[in-house]
Amino acid sequence: MQVLAIITGEYGRRNVENIRRHAPEAWTIRVWEAPGVYPPVIDYPEDHLPDALPEADLILSFAEHKGVAELLPEVVRRTGARSVIASADREEWLPRGLARQLRGWLGEIGVACVTPKPLCSLTETTYNVNAHEQTYEDELISAFARHFGRPQLHVVVDPDTCDILDIMVERDAVCGCARYAARELKGVPAKDAERLGGLLHHHYPCLASMGVDDDFNDTIMHVSGNILKAEIREEVEDYREIRYIRPGKKAT
């Protein structure tokens, strides 16, 4: 698969570094660093594109400016891409209305597009979470999501000590956070893994927005952290220590 990643800053660079480190050998990963400044209205997208872009099957947009989304239909035309993943980890980078327009623009020309918010909500068939979850069908996006997207882990626990022996990362977050957490959680008590996983998510650090998002009434960073914690919780469910608090009494 030929992949073209569009970046404008550190967020995109970190994503690309992790993808290149862990992608299948058959993938070709190329990068276009797009301009970081755009006029309020882009009348001529070609004025902001290089003279030539490499051929691509899949476009990954990790841009930190909403103007890049308006360039994507022309990027698709020039590269021959058939699928697009445009991350929406911050509302100001890809506002929800523009994300909806982008999916519509590309759908009209037969190009599949998903706009996961957060990016680590992407699976082989869905993206986004809770009431905002959407389904899709596209072989190229699914191929990417088999390796990067919503964290999928397999935790091995020592039955005698109840400590974590190993964690296999079956699907990493695009940024590499899940792999980082898996490495750091080895050896810790399984009952503490969910709580520590949440701390590790913040320490990595997650670069999703810390502003409250209207879709979730929460920050996208917290939504992302909850995705990782939920995956860890499911894996260590049998070892969790559940505490009950009764009014007027100490916790038991």
Residue by residue, DSSP assigns 153-173 as EEEEE-TTT-BEEEEEEEEB-
Q: Is the pLDDT of residue 250 over 80?
A: no
Asked whether 67 and 42 are in contact (CB, 8 A), the reply is yes
Phi–psi pair at 46, nearest 5 degrees = -60, -25
Mean pLDDT of the chain: 92
| pLDDT reported for residue 45 | 66
The model's pLDDT over 93-114, given as tens digits with 9 standing for 90+, comes to 999 999 999 999 999 999 999 9
- The stretch 140-160 carries a mean pLDDT of 97
Q: Is the pLDDT of residue 248 over 70?
A: no
Report residue 119 CA to chain centroid gap: 2
The model's pLDDT over 118-128, given as tens digits with 9 standing for 90+, comes to 999 999 999 99
Cα separation, 36 vs 140, in Å, equals 28
Q: Cβ–Cβ contacts within 10 Å for residue 199, how many?
A: 13
Cα separation, 13 vs 9, in Å, equals 6
| pLDDT reported for residue 245 | 56
| pLDDT reported for residue 239 | 84
Q: What is the DSSP-derived secondary structure letter of residue 43?
A: S
How would CATH label the architecture of 2-145?
3-Layer(aba) Sandwich (3.40)
Torsion angle of the four alpha carbons 171, 234, 230, 139, in this order, in degrees rounded to the nearest 10: 30
- The stretch 63-79 carries a mean pLDDT of 94
Residue spans of the domains in the chain: they are: 2-145, 152-239
| pLDDT reported for residue 243 | 55
- DSSP H stretches of helix in the chain: 10-22, 67-79, 96-108, 139-145, 177-185, 193-203, 220-235
| Bridge partners (DSSP) listed for residue 5 | 31, 60
Across 203-222, b (16+ Cβ under 10 Å) vs e yields ebebbbbeeebebbeebbbb
The model's pLDDT over 20-49, given as tens digits with 9 standing for 90+, comes to 999 999 999 999 999 876 666 576 667 778
| Bridge partners (DSSP) listed for residue 148 | 172
Report residue 155 CA to chain centroid gap: 21
